[in-house]
A and B are shown apart, each in its own frame.
Chain A
Amino acid sequence: MCESCPIVDWEKELPTIRSFFARKVDATMTEHIIWFDRYEHDHKPFVGGKNSSLGEMTMAELPVPPGFAITTVAYEQLWSDKTLVHDVNELLRSIDHDDYVANREISNQIRSKIEAVPLPDDVTADIRHAYFELCDHCGVEDLPVAVRSSATAEDLPDASFAGQQDTYLWIQGADSVIEHVRRCWSSIFTDRAIAYRHAMGYLHQTIAVSVGVQKMIDPISSGVAFTLNPSNGDRSQVAIDASWGLGEAVVSGQVTPDNFLVDKVLREVIKREISDKGVEYCLTESGSVEKLEIVGERRTAPAVSDDDLVAIAILARRAEKHYGCPQDVEWALDKHLPAGENVVMLQSRPETVWSQKTKTSVATGGYDPMKSIVTTLVSPLHKKPSS
């Protein structure tokens, strides 16, 4: 039994929770859908970190695949069902936090209930409508999309962990989209997320889930880009990692990515280390991810061309400029977009390592041309430490 866990009476508590999330924005949000290209800062508490980042990138004219967020307002509608609230509360109360096996079963039961509960008509209608609009926009019927949860939790240091970042790829058709939106909603009740919140002493209701629906991209290659040289902090360079297919092969440590340094001002590839890339993860038509052996020359061929590296660097720089600090960017090269426009950005976050070092000016004191020249002459360049 865990008395601290219950999710409380949502109906009664909703206004409080609403103001909890909206504390700083003083907005009355009623929208179920926020398009990325109509994103505003005030929307952040209702679309979560992931979606707000996509929205902000879109507004900064970065090439983010088009899509929309289903707001936490829609998520909250879920809890207008008294039975669901009651059932979930009961199940949460029954948890014994030391019994992992039992907890997985309880988690499954909670998730099933969330996924099965009838939704208010206006919520489903809005999602359907938005999905059709996206299909229209891309000119594709039953457009394959990625459906991702984007948790939000005011004042929690790591909402993405306190919630759960579920991602469903290659989803087609409005019914299937709605089904996966529900799975994202229920994903905050995975056994892992429940245990984490319990361990951290967070209340379950402090988490709300927004869901992002975004045109699916099918990467030839993908990777990350840091908008500085990680070896010396030089901000005129971009470090780019790349491997074939989806990022999974690198994330899981099965492949060492190619590593490049690109000069973001001169727009030239300065350094390249091409590694032997043995596997790639690719999407199948059914939306599952498949691991494939790489054979032949592709193993040791660069996973990105120089032109694309420069394009990635320019976009990464644009993100950095927009956010006003060095960024850590996820990118992909899409198979279906025309060459020259096929670099897409999936995420941009502040770079943390170098940015946390105290910044020192190179210049010391006011500029005096003669003194400065004397200093240069007396202590030649190569004597200065290079980093």
Chain B
Amino acid sequence: MTNSFPSPFEIEGPEGVEGWEELYPYSSSFSDYRKDYEDNRFWFWDSMHWGKALTPWDATFMEAALASLSQMNSRHYRIPPADGVDFRILYGYAFLSPVGVDPSQIEARIPQFMERAGHYFGNWDSLYESWLGKVKGTIADIESIDFSPLPEMEDLEVITGGTALGSGTKLMSEYNRFKDLIMQAWQYHFEFLNLGYAAYLDFFGFCKEAFPSIPDLGIAKMVAGVEVDLFRPNEELKGLAQKAVDLGIARSFDDPDNVSLEGDAGAQWQAAWDEAKDPWFNFTSGNGFYHFDKIWVENPDIPYTFIKDYIARIEVGEDISRPIEAIREERDRVVSEYRELLGSDEDRETFDGKLGLARVVFPYVENHNFYIEHWTMSVVWRKLKELGATLEEDGLLSAADDLLFIRRDEVNEVLWDYYANWAVNSPTASAAHWAPIIERRRAIHAKLDAWKAPKALGAPPEVITEPFTIMLWGITSESVNNWLGSDEGAENELTGMAASPGTVEGIARIIHNPEEVNDLQQDEILVATITAPSWAPVFPKVQACVTDIGGMMSHAAIVCREYGVPAVTGTGFGTDKIKTGDRIRVDGSSGKVTIL
């Protein structure tokens, strides 16, 4: 067994990608300036969120997310042992490194943390209520951004109103506002998340001490909400499927690429769709971080396919509704049984207190994903496409999606070119200037995308202490050791997190990207790098689920528990070792996957 991962400075990327660094801000690159710092750290590839090579714009959201996460830990709440999670891009892939606090400083941060976090825990419900308002306001603000082409002449009101300010400078400030709103949304994303995880971890730690062998999912079951916004899109689909059956237009969905809704029944169904789609179908087929993620409202064939599947199940007499009462009863049963098994009344009191707080914070932990990753990001990507289309239309770019290959701060220069020459009424330089650069960047990106990044870099830490790294990414001292020893592991065996219990054997299907989800056949085992919430409708079809990355709170874990499907998450190498068609055994209770 080796005892260190390769240094980030020794990694040889794919051939022919010289100059790849220009796709990203220099601050996100490994460099000689910070070599000592960077070389002595442990970096893991966050393939859970960024499994594909990043375009410059995809990188924007990785950077926004990590900076916002870090800011809340380090500057807002003063999490005693944890500063930020540092981030770098190496050959297009995001590598993260949790940053601990110097042990001598921890003590001083405790009163600061207690005051700050205490305020949030003490006023959680009202702050969460206001959070919902802020996020919806931010989404409305992004929606309101005007990226339409510059006019031939200004409206008369600009003259009569004596405003003097023109559309060109307005476009530039709209773009800056767009960037600011993205940062705003990502700060909101982490406003509660880190604290929510902390409260959850506190309950988690107590349970692990009281019941040394308690499965993570036993703890999650006690805390999980019964009615969760993240499940809403899927529930809306079921309702629409039922409505189609009730209205007698089920056959209209036989070909999801060609759904025509006619007559009064069609109109009624359409009205129900319209009501559901905003906001619930601002739902992406991926994780919201990539430009290619498909959003349901813009690609109705995706929800139509799921509706078609649900219709088929309704028609064979299956009850597809979510048994809310049964789920609630099961949760209450689990809680009361663990509670009963505790050793003392004092323990029961502490258990009640910690569980209570975990349940207060948990709706946020479960729901923020819909509001930010899905809803906000759907609107962000739509706006970015609008801007690209405008720039293409007015000849600044040869293609709308060239915009993805221009770094966010370089876009300001394009907009200046657009504005200045609109003002002068003269030819712009952008298309010609960017054509060779974009061609080169596209070629580099394609090569980076075909490359497989290493799991981890640098010196493995003696012990992982950053709580969110453990909780969200499922990266623990044990999993790091597993990665180190993986070359010597049994060829046909993988270990990961026991995320949802039960053991099954079946045929594997590897899903590399969301478009392949529909290839899944009844009773196959889904094997993916990571799954997205919008895949929920396929979970009733699968027998089990295996993912490369993901902790106890990962989407796959949550949904599999919901559907009672065995799951092993965070196997590291599932999509490498398993091939579509392999017969595999998934033991979601012990976290073992065996290729048979």
Identify the A interface with B (CB < 8 A): 229, 232-237, 261, 263-266, 268-271, 306, 321, 359-363, 366-367, 369-374, 376-378, 380-384, 386-387
Given contacts A236-B211, A367-B349, contact A380 B467 (CB under 8 A): yes
| B477 interface residue per 8 A CB criterion | yes
Q: Which of A306, A359, A369 has the most CB of B within 10 A?
A: A369
Residue from A264, A271, A380, A384 within 8 A of B337 (CB atoms): A264
Q: Once bound together, how far apart are the Cα atoms of A191 and B357, in whole Å?
A: 66
CB within 8 Å of A: which of B106-151? Answer: 106, 110, 113-114, 117-118, 121
Cβ–Cβ contact A359 & B344, under 8 A: yes
Residue from A235, A266, A270, A370 within 8 A of B117 (CB atoms): A370
* A236 to B, closest residue via Cβ: B211
Residues of chain B contacted by A306 (CB below 8 angstroms): 503
A221 to chain B, nearest CB (A): 19
Cβ–Cβ contact B347 & A362, under 8 A: yes
Residues of chain A contacted by B341 (CB below 8 angstroms): 235-236, 265
| B213 interface residue per 8 A CB criterion | yes
Given contacts A268-B502, A268-B589, A362-B210, contact A367 B204 (CB under 8 A): no
| B81 interface residue per 8 A CB criterion | yes
Residues of chain B contacted by A235 (CB below 8 angstroms): 211, 341
* A387 to B, closest residue via Cβ: B212
Residues of chain B contacted by A374 (CB below 8 angstroms): 80, 110, 113-114
Q: Once bound together, how far apart are the Cα atoms of A233 and B202, in whole Å?
A: 22
Cβ–Cβ contact A236 & B338, under 8 A: yes
Cβ–Cβ contact A378 & B81, under 8 A: yes
* B118 to A, closest residue via Cβ: A370
Cβ–Cβ contact A367 & B353, under 8 A: yes
Q: Which of A232, A269, A367, A377 has the most CB of B within 10 A?
A: A377
16 pairs from A and B in contact (CB 8 Å cutoff): A234-B212, A263-B218, A263-B501, A265-B337, A362-B342, A363-B349, A363-B350, A367-B349, A367-B350, A369-B353, A372-B202, A372-B354, A373-B199, A374-B80, A374-B110, A382-B477
Residue from B205, B217, B338, B340 within 8 A of A381 (CB atoms): B205
Cβ–Cβ contact A362 & B350, under 8 A: yes
Residues of chain A contacted by B464 (CB below 8 angstroms): 380, 382
Residues of chain B contacted by A370 (CB below 8 angstroms): 114, 117-118, 121
Cβ proximity bits B193-212 to A, threshold 8 Å, 1 near / 0 not: 00000110110111011111
Given contacts A234-B214, A369-B357, contact A362 B470 (CB under 8 A): no
Q: Once bound together, how far apart are the Cα atoms of A386 and B82, in whole Å?
A: 23
Cβ–Cβ contact B590 & A376, under 8 A: no
Residues of chain B contacted by A233 (CB below 8 angstroms): 212
| B270 interface residue per 8 A CB criterion | no
CB within 8 Å of A: which of B79-123? Answer: 79-82, 106, 110, 113-114, 117-118, 121
CB within 8 Å of A: which of B458-494? Answer: 463-465, 467, 470, 476-478
B275 to chain A, nearest CB (A): 38
Q: Once bound together, how far apart are the Cα atoms of A270 and B589, in whole Å?
A: 5
Cβ–Cβ contact B80 & A234, under 8 A: no
Residues of chain B contacted by A264 (CB below 8 angstroms): 337
Residues of chain B contacted by A381 (CB below 8 angstroms): 201, 204-205, 208, 470
Cβ proximity bits B301-344 to A, threshold 8 Å, 1 near / 0 not: 00000000000000000000000000000000010011011111
Q: Once bound together, how far apart are the Cα atoms of A306 and B349, in whole Å?
A: 34
Q: Once bound together, how far apart are the Cα atoms of A236 and B209, in whole Å?
A: 12
Given contacts A376-B205, A382-B476, contact A236 B347 (CB under 8 A): no
* B208 to A, closest residue via Cβ: A381
Interface size class of B (residues with CB under 8 A): 35 or more
Residue from B205, B212, B476 within 8 A of A232 (CB atoms): B212
* B338 to A, closest residue via Cβ: A265
How many contacts between A and B, using CB within 8 angstroms?
145
B539 to chain A, nearest CB (A): 18
Q: Once bound together, how far apart are the Cα atoms of A234 and B207, in whole Å?
A: 11
Residues of chain A contacted by B503 (CB below 8 angstroms): 269, 306
* A261 to B, closest residue via Cβ: B213
Cβ–Cβ contact A384 & B209, under 8 A: yes
Residues of chain B contacted by A361 (CB below 8 angstroms): 343-344, 346-347
Q: Once bound together, how far apart are the Cα atoms of A235 and B337, in whole Å?
A: 11
Identify the B interface with A (CB < 8 A): 79-82, 106, 110, 113-114, 117-118, 121, 198-199, 201-202, 204-206, 208-215, 217-218, 221, 334, 337-338, 340-344, 346-347, 349-351, 353-354, 357, 463-465, 467, 470, 476-478, 501-503, 589-590
Q: Once bound together, how far apart are the Cα atoms of A271 and B498, in whole Å?
A: 11
Given contacts A270-B589, A382-B477, contact A377 B118 (CB under 8 A): no
Residues of chain A contacted by B470 (CB below 8 angstroms): 380-382
Cβ–Cβ contact B209 & A362, under 8 A: yes
Further 13 A-B residue pairs, CB within 8 A, beyond A363-B351, A367-B350, A382-B470? A236-B211, A263-B215, A270-B501, A359-B344, A362-B209, A363-B206, A363-B344, A363-B350, A369-B354, A370-B117, A372-B350, A376-B198, A380-B465
Q: Once bound together, how far apart are the Cα atoms of A168 and B106, in whole Å?
A: 70
Cβ–Cβ contact A236 & B334, under 8 A: no
Q: Once bound together, how far apart are the Cα atoms of A363 and B478, in whole Å?
A: 27
Cβ–Cβ contact B501 & A373, under 8 A: no
* A266 to B, closest residue via Cβ: B218
Q: Once bound together, how far apart are the Cα atoms of A369 and B353, in whole Å?
A: 7
Q: Once bound together, how far apart are the Cα atoms of A111 and B188, in whole Å?
A: 86
Cβ–Cβ contact A373 & B198, under 8 A: yes
Residue from B357, B477, B590 within 8 A of A271 (CB atoms): B590
Q: Once bound together, how far apart are the Cα atoms of A370 and B77, in whole Å?
A: 13
Q: Once bound together, how far apart are the Cα atoms of A382 and B113, in whole Å?
A: 22
Cβ–Cβ contact B357 & A384, under 8 A: no
Cβ–Cβ contact B202 & A373, under 8 A: yes
Cβ-closest 7 pairs across A and B: A363-B350, A268-B501, A376-B202, A367-B353, A236-B211, A234-B213, A232-B212
Q: Once bound together, how far apart are the Cα atoms of A375 and B268, in whole Å?
A: 56
Given contacts A361-B343, A361-B347, contact A229 B213 (CB under 8 A): yes
* B343 to A, closest residue via Cβ: A359
Residue from A265, A380, A383 within 8 A of B334 (CB atoms): A265
Q: Once bound together, how far apart are the Cα atoms of A261 and B498, in whole Å?
A: 15
Residue from B81, B214, B502 within 8 A of A236 (CB atoms): B214
* A271 to B, closest residue via Cβ: B590
* A360 to B, closest residue via Cβ: B343
B215 to chain A, nearest CB (A): 7
* B201 to A, closest residue via Cβ: A376
Cβ–Cβ contact A384 & B110, under 8 A: no
Residue from A236, A321, A362, A377 within 8 A of B213 (CB atoms): A236
B563 to chain A, nearest CB (A): 15
Residues of chain A contacted by B350 (CB below 8 angstroms): 362-363, 367, 372
Residues of chain A contacted by B344 (CB below 8 angstroms): 359, 361, 363
Q: Once bound together, how far apart are the Cα atoms of A382 and B208, in whole Å?
A: 10
Residues of chain A contacted by B353 (CB below 8 angstroms): 367, 369
Cβ–Cβ contact A270 & B343, under 8 A: no
* A306 to B, closest residue via Cβ: B503
Residues of chain B contacted by A232 (CB below 8 angstroms): 212-213
Residues of chain A contacted by B202 (CB below 8 angstroms): 369, 372-373, 376
B336 to chain A, nearest CB (A): 9
* A321 to B, closest residue via Cβ: B340
B57 to chain A, nearest CB (A): 35
Given contacts A361-B347, A363-B349, contact A377 B80 (CB under 8 A): yes
Q: Once bound together, how far apart are the Cα atoms of A167 and B255, in whole Å?
A: 71
Q: Once bound together, how far apart are the Cα atoms of A367 and B353, in whole Å?
A: 7
Residues of chain A contacted by B81 (CB below 8 angstroms): 377-378, 380
* B357 to A, closest residue via Cβ: A369
Q: Once bound together, how far apart are the Cα atoms of A282 and B301, in whole Å?
A: 62
* A371 to B, closest residue via Cβ: B114
